[in-house]
Structures are given as structure tokens and as C-alpha cells.
Amino acid sequence: MTRTRLLAALVMAPLAIAAILLLPTPWMVALAAVLFLAGLWEWFDLAQIEDTLARTVLLVANLAVMVALVWASRSSAGYTMALFQLASMIGVIWWLLALLWLGRYDFASDHDTNARVFKLAAGALSMIPAWCALAWIHSTQPNGHRWLLTALAIVWAADTGAYFAGRTFGGRLFGGRKLAPRISPNKTLEGLLGGVVCGVIVGIVFALIAGATPAQLPAVAVVALLAVLFSVVGDLFESLLKRHVGVKDSGNLIPGHGGILDRVDGVLAALPVFALGKAVLGF
């Protein structure tokens, strides 16, 4: 499995990096919309929306919100990012609420009730703010494309660091305590620590490449730390949805990695907090 994951990552990573660095913001935003909407389609599976017409209508509704945000952001000088910034703030608030949801495992688990409504709302609150944060970061001057790569590299590094730290040190440092045993039994505190360390280090390195000054690095480290922690919440929340319906992966599109949602779950939570933290702390 590790070899398959590595080979898939070696194919996907260069394509993602090239898109981030080479595409102008409108094209990058359009590509991200396609990716996130594909992840949202898988989210509908986890909410057990089985009717194709209903899923299509829900997908078009979310697409319409994205289009409306772009249309409403037009100005005489081009585009204003105010609505995208507001949506990113809403995203941060949502993921704080999702953290509370994680503490109530059975909440919205019975799809014979109105649980699907909560999960569909959660899907929109996860995808659209993350997409807005991506657009906000990439459009920032100067070097917005490099800052977006920094944000994503933090999540990728944290995910990789957690995987290998968990496999190597799992159960040795914290007496076998699990991070969230009922939601994701394989996640360890050692993995979390490894993910935090890797994410912060990579964030600092990539921030220097993006143009951060040495004086800004403490702020970058704080935001990178928060982005890693939020990415863990995003990962656990998707795991919770999968536990509710008894599946291992959100899909099987990516060999060794599952579905698209399995790859972007941490990104969905990390992007809004990175965008907001970057703006507030001024780097």
C-alpha cells in the first residue's frame, strides 16, 4: 500500500504544483472548483444521497453559490476579495463547530431522521469557504501562488509526517493512547506530533521561498501550527462521516489514496485558517 501511495503521490504532486505556480488565478480557481465539487459529490455518498437527480441538483446549487460569489465580487477595478474573505471567516467558524461535533459521535448518525440535512450543510460549509480561501491566497500580491503552495505543502507534510511517525513511533511515546479511537482507531498521538513538527518546518521553509522575512517566521510558525491542527479536524470529520456509513474510503479514484475527498479533507479545514491567519498576522 505504501508503494502504491508513493507512486500516486509522485504523479499527482508535480501536476498540482505546476497548476498552482503556473496558472493565473481565474484558471486556478476554476480548476479548484472542479476538484472541490468532485469531492462534494463523494460527500453526498457519505450522506447517503442515492438519487442521482437529487445529487445533481445539490451539486448545481453549490456551483451556483460559487458563481454568485464571483459575479458579486466584480468591481470597476476588477475584482474585490471581500466576499471571499468573509466566506473564509465563516469557514474557520464552521470548523470550530465541527470540532464540537466530533465530541458527539452519534450526532446526525441516523439517516432515517434529518441527519442528511446537517451533513449537506456541513458539505457546503466545508467546500465553499475552502475554495474562497484558495482564491484569496492565490490572488494575494506578491507571490500569492507561492503562498498557496506553502499552505498546501503544510497539509501535505503534516499528513506524511503523521503517517510515518505513527507507523514508526505509534504507542511508544504516549503509552498507546489514540487520538480519537472511536472515530479513527489508527491515528495516534505520536502521529499527531510528527505531523505538527513536519508541517511547521515545511511551512517555515516554503514561507521563505514565498518571500517571508526572518522577522515574520514566528508568525508563519503559529499559522502553520493552526493549519495543521485544523487539517486534523478536517481529516477526523471525514472519518466520522465514513464511520457513520461503514465505508473505508470516500471513493476509489486515486490508487492507494481512496477518493478525492480523502485527499482534500485536511485541506478543506486548513485553507481558511491559513488565509485568515496570514491576513491577520501580516505576512
d(Cα 237, Cα 55) in Å, to the nearest integer?
Answer: 21
The residues near 261 (Cβ < 8 Å, ≥ 6 apart) are: 39, 42, 43, 46, 238, 250, 251
Number of domains in the chain: 1
Domain that holds residue 27: 2-281
Q: Does the pLDDT at position 251 exceed 80?
A: no
DSSP strand pairing (78-79 vs 178-180): unpaired
In this prediction, residue 64 carries a pLDDT of 98
**Tens-digit pLDDT profile for residues 213-239:** 999 999 999 999 999 999 999 999 999
pLDDT band at 138; cut points 50, 70, 90:
very high
Q: What is the pLDDT of residue 5?
A: 62
The predicted-structure confidence for 11-28, as pLDDT tens digits, reads as follows 788 999 999 999 999 999
Asked if pLDDT for residue 143 goes beyond 60, the answer is yes
19-33, 167-181, 247-261: range with highest mean pLDDT: 19-33
Long-range pairs, 170-177, Cβ under 8 A, ≥24: none
| Local confidence band at 183 (pLDDT 50, 70, 90 cut-offs) | very high
How much is the pTM?
A: 0.94
Section 83-106 average pLDDT? 96
